[in-house]
Amino acid sequence: MPTTVEWISLGHRHYDEALDIQMKRAEALLTGADERQAIYTVEHPPTITIGRNGTTDNIVADQSFLEAQGFAVRHVDRGGDVTYHGPGQLVVYPVLHLAPWDNDVKQYVRNLEESVIQALAEVGIVAQRHEEYPGVWVGDAKICAVGARVKKRPSGEFVTYHGIALNVNTNLAHFQTIVPCGIADKGVTSIERETGHAADFGAWETKLRQSFYEVFQFEV
């Protein structure tokens, strides 16, 4: 029987507020207080996050510029290095225990990537994984970042939080404030850039939700 997952749209939320929501749900799963599985979607104001493997050296804009432009900077406990979130970017935070998916963290990450690849293929964008780097790529340009965090609960199942960030109509100039994911010789792209026209943000959430359903084999 397919597992049941709540798909919850948070709309426009500050990074801290969305983080608090997902962390509370993750803690409930880790302690066994609440078994509900959830996937949150959100759009953040300009925010730079630094993962556990990251360094502030990969933020190339100075602090005064970031403050003037309204950027927040946060250290977070996901994997990976430095990344950017902002308007026009669809951020997806699955807060799941992985028992229904054989408790396989590597397969979980592949499923995240595959969900995006399949959704992009529907509009003719040919995307793929990169042998050396996580995420989803169009040529040498990243269109979707992946940065998950997993913890194990006493019963042995992994619980995951954080997730993916898909550039829909993102202002790609904002990525010039950082070395994205610490990779200096690669670029970034968006659905808007690849298709040549502005994308419907809400329609892309619907499209991505459908591809998640198909890849992960869950139901609402």
84 annotated ligand binder: yes
81 annotated ligand binder: yes
Is the alpha carbon torsion for 97, 98, 99, 103 positive or negative? negative
80 annotated ligand binder: yes
187 annotated ligand binder: no
145 annotated ligand binder: yes
164 annotated ligand binder: yes
Q: Which of 18, 90, 136, 181 is catalytic?
A: 181
Q: Which of 156, 18, 145, 42 is nearest to 97 (CA)?
A: 156
161 annotated ligand binder: no
**Rounded alpha-carbon distances, angstroms, from residue 213 to 86, 132, 191:** 25, 27, 21
83 annotated ligand binder: yes
* Backbone dihedral region for residue 217 (phi beyond 0: left; psi -120 to 50: alpha; all else: beta): left
Determine the Cα–Cα distance for residues 81 and 60; give it in Å rounded to an integer: 14
18 annotated ligand binder: no
| Chain Cα centroid distance, residue 178 | 17
85 annotated ligand binder: yes
Is residue 181 flagged as an active site residue?
A: yes
Phi, psi for residue 95 in degrees, rounded to 5: -115, 95
- Enclosing H/E stretch for 152: strand 141-152
163 annotated ligand binder: yes
Beta-carbon contacts of residue 95 (< 8 Å; ≥ 6 apart): 22, 25, 26, 29, 37, 38, 39, 40, 159, 160, 161
From the annotation, which residues make up the binding site for substrate? 78-85, 145-147, 163-165
Residues taking part in catalysis: 181
Which amino acids are annotated as binding site, given as ranges?
Answer: 78-85, 145-147, 163-165
